[in-house]
Amino acid sequence: MGIRVHNLYCDASGESHWRDVDIEWENEGPGGKTSARQFANGIIFRQTQAEHDRPWHPAPRRQYIINLDAGVELTASDGESRKIGAGEIILVEDTKGKGHLSKSINNQMRHSIFVPIE
């Protein structure tokens, strides 16, 4: 078993849903385990205000989001919500349709890293 990533994606009708994706380990050595190389085109650092409560919106691009120090609650358009904590990873792919809701947890400022993969 590799590392689990939350995946927010949309189906052919534009409805967003959650699933889990496992990224398998490919190499193991003295420095630990690593996956296969994943291609990306940049890195974006983000600070989200404590009162963050964003209405329905699709993701601007396919990207990984890595929460650094606080959580976020995301609700897919099918109604399923997930609380994503500090240190957890999300692969957002709901770039069409209604998208998702985004809300801070515990009214905390959040720092995260976006890694675009388009």
Distance separating alpha carbons of residues 29 and 77, to the nearest angstrom: 42
Q: Is the pLDDT of residue 118 over 90?
A: no
In order of their start, the domains of the chain are 3-23+40-116 (2.60.120.10)
pLDDT tens-place string over residues 20-78: 999 999 999 999 999 999 999 999 999 999 998 999 999 999 999 999 999 999 999 99
- Answer yes or no: are the C-beta atoms of 8 and 25 closer than 8 Å: no
pLDDT above 90 for 1: no
How far apart (Å, rounded) are the C-alpha atoms in residues 51 and 3? Answer: 30
| Separation of alpha carbons 118 and 40, rounded Å | 7
Using DSSP, state whether 7 is helix, strand or coil: strand
In DSSP terms, 22 is beta-bridged to: 4
The pLDDT assigned to 13 comes to 94
> Considering the chain, what is the average pLDDT of its residues?
96
CB 48 within 8 A of CB 84: no
Compute the chain's Rg from CA coordinates: 15
